[in-house]
């Protein structure tokens, strides 16, 4: 199958690996690209020189297309973008910021630009800014999310109606039937995060990966809504935040409680008690840590089984 | 098409109309049943004698199967159940309570019993209680919901894996492509609420229906999480609750703020400022008030278009 997403990125399957802080370095990105998806280096947790190294290693590890995800709230965005252009990266996913700021500059440099949104307002802004596709991320997704709390099931059809460019669904997708469902809802492809965090090649700490494997219904929550909403696994750190919120804590107190480098501590260093463990609701159905090639194989097999099951169904 | 749901209820389409307080009387239920779905009288907002009248009128208005939804937190559940048995109702959906309490009694009286759940724990309880199908309702659904906040996209595949009986998806479904997507995820049918509230035949106040038509992304929210989580349209009443919560209000204060008959005031009497307006996120894509027959026709046409579009798609 080819469609607007496989053509846009020149990839085999319309499956993008989400660019995630502390979890998606060159190993994960190159593994996904080698398996026929689109791998993304997550620059959000990288200093510019670290990104440069990851790009060079990724180039050496795959001849297939890959990209870089740049959260625009990164304090050194300008430097990251400079390196991306210098290294002749062809695909950039921007997120967490105004898509108008870099889109034309990147496009002038021959880069395909995609922007990640979590609501309709930013979808319209991104389309207006001239991006070539958007990722639409539902409430169930891990990490930073929107204030609207709109889920994938609702947001994909809602944004499809107003979106003339390719649309990539994200949030709650870890199986082939969810890929098929997302495309039924109107998406042209999917972005998958959590499933790839629990892979051999992700740079997540093994303690964090293990927490994903055992996670059950209700174990993640969209938290810190007074600051920037973020979906994470419930742990001691979350309990402290929750307790403060229920006592009427102000923003400043929450910022103090959050402190610095919580995400690194949890996801990269493996402190699952006091660290911030950003992951999606779909952890509930992730039961193992697998090599990326096997994950992709399973996704494709499940997708095709679902397609067969739904084939010819008419009401 | 026939499947486990159409056979279980002896209906044409695997589409159930959710039993909703103040919105789903005999007019709505009979209209849905006449159009080939399964209509449900929502007994949650009815006194026993009112339910009796609705059942009699529904029988007169349709020769097709219909059912009654009984939220088990209703203070007169015993009396409601007595009337249901006496009136020889054949299908009962229970919700908001322990499925063990009435299931065997109802089944002994020849009634098909379905239980509504919003998490995996209660899905297992309902299966164990011997119900014949479950409704699995995601975070995006209107009205009362689960503490886990699990969305339809995540919960359907998660519960499908452990559910040997027919599964009905609910939450975020107002279009034919969402029905198709839900069935791709493993559901055998769907329950639709919000779309039917905005119908000619629903007993919702016209002011409330109009609010659904104009609702946009982010206009509903899961609120009152310290009491029983409920999804409603944001309005002045919600703003007061939110403000109290942010100041660290205790349960007792929230109960006082909520007061009595808020839902009736909002949904049935049309006070959209001070009333409680329970409705799903999917209001965002509901743009008109239509007769039930047209709604069902559109759903089927959209489903079949989606089926055609997805036909033969293989990765």
Q: What is the CATH number of the domain that holds A135?
A: 3.20.20.70
**pLDDT tens digits, B54-83:** 999 999 999 999 999 999 999 999 999 999
Q: What is the mean pLDDT of residues B85-114?
A: 97
Q: What is the mean pLDDT of residues A96-114?
A: 96
- Residue A239: the pLDDT is 96
CA distance B135 to B175: 18
**pTM exceeds 0.90:** yes
- Residue B182: the pLDDT is 98
Q: Own/partner pairs for A71-79, CB < 8 Å, 24+ apart?
A: A71/A21, A71/A43, A71/A44, A71/A95, A71/A96, A71/A97, A71/A144, A72/A96, A72/A97, A72/A98, A72/A101, A72/A102, A73/A97, A74/A43, A74/A44, A76/A47, A76/A48, A77/A102, A79/A48
Residues A238, A305, single domain; the answer is no
Residues of the domain holding A118: 4-203+285-310
Percentage of residues in chain B having pLDDT higher than 70: 100
Q: What is the mean pLDDT of residues B221-245?
A: 95
Residues A144, A181, single domain; the answer is yes
CA distance B35 to A177: 30
Percentage of residues in chain A having pLDDT higher than 70: 100
- Residue A205: the pLDDT is 98
- Residue A13: the pLDDT is 98
CA distance A287 to A100: 40
The answer to whether the Cβ–Cβ distance between B153 and A147 falls below 8 Å is no
Chain B CB within 8 Å of residue A122 CB: no
Count the neighbouring beta carbons within 10 Å of the beta carbon of residue A203.
18
The answer to whether the Cβ–Cβ distance between A149 and B221 falls below 8 Å is yes
- Residue B147: the pLDDT is 96
Q: Which residues 7-66 on chain B approach chain A with CB closer than 8 angstroms?
A: 13-14
User: What is the rounded average pLDDT for all residues in chain A?
Assistant: 97
Residue B268 C-alpha, separation from nearest chain A C-alpha, in angstroms: 26
Residues B124, B82, single domain; the answer is yes
Chain A CB within 8 Å of residue B145 CB: no
Q: What is the mean pLDDT of residues B236-244?
A: 95
Select from A153, A158, A300 the Cβ nearest to the Cβ of B153: A153
Residues A126, A235, single domain; the answer is no
- Residue A91: the pLDDT is 98
Residues A131, A271, single domain; the answer is no
Please, which pLDDT band fits residue B116 given cuts at 50, 70 and 90?
very high
Residues B257, B273, single domain; the answer is yes
- Residue A7: the pLDDT is 98
Percentage of residues in chain B having pLDDT higher than 90: 97
Residues B193, B250, single domain; the answer is no
Residues A174, A123, single domain; the answer is yes
The answer as to whether A315 is a domain residue is: no
The answer as to whether B6 is a domain residue is: no
Residues A221, A193, single domain; the answer is no
CA distance A173 to A190: 8
The answer as to whether B312 is a domain residue is: no
Residues A16, A145, single domain; the answer is yes
The answer as to whether B239 is a domain residue is: yes
- Residue B91: the pLDDT is 98
**pLDDT tens digits, A69-100:** 999 999 999 999 999 999 999 999 999 999 99
CA distance A18 to A41: 9
In total, how many domains does chain A have?
2
**pLDDT tens digits, B254-289:** 999 999 899 999 999 999 999 999 999 999 999 999
Please, which pLDDT band fits residue A127 given cuts at 50, 70 and 90?
very high
Residues A126, A161, single domain; the answer is yes
Tell me which chain B residues have a C-beta less than 8 angstroms from the C-beta of A158: 217, 284-285
């Amino acid at each position: 199958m080819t469609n607007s997403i496989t053509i846009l990125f020149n990839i085999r399957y319309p499956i993008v690996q989400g660019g995630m802080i502390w979890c998606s370095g060159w190993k994960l990105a190159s593994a996904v690209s080698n398996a026929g998806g689109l791998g993304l280096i997550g620059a959000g947790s990288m200093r510019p020189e670290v990104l440069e190294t990851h790009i060079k290693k990724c180039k050496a590890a795959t001849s297939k297309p890959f990209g870089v995800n740049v959260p625009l709230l990164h304090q050194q965005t300008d430097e990251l973008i400079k390196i991306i252009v210098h290294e002749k990266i062809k695909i950039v996913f921007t997120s967490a910021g105004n898509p108008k700021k870099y889109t034309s500059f990147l496009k002038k440099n021959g880069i395909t630009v995609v922007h990640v949104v979590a609501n309709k307002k930013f979808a319209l802004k991104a389309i207006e800014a001239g991006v070539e596709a958007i990722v639409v991320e539902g409430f169930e997704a891990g990490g930073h999310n929107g204030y609207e709390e709109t889920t994938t099931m609702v947001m994909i059809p809602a944004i499809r109606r107003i979106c003339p460019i390719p649309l990539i669904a994200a949030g709650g997708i870890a199986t082939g039937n969810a890929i098929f469902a997302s495309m039924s809802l109107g998406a042209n492809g999917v972005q998958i995060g959590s499933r790839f965090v629990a892979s051999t090649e992700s740079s997540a700490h093994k303690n964090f990966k293990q927490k994903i494997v055992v996670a059950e219904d209700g174990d993640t929550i969209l938290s810190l809504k007074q600051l920037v909403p973020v979906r994470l696994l419930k742990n001691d750190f979350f309990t402290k935040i929750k307790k403060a919120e229920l006592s009427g804590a102000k923003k400043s107190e929450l910022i103090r409680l959050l402190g610095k480098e919580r995400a690194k501590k949890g996801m990269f260093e493996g402190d699952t008690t006091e660290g911030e463990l950003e992951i999606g609701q779909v952890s509930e159905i992730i039961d193992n840590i697998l090599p990326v090639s096997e994950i992709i194989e399973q996704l494709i097999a499940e997708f095709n089984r679902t397609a067969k099951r739904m084939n010819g169904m008419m009401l």
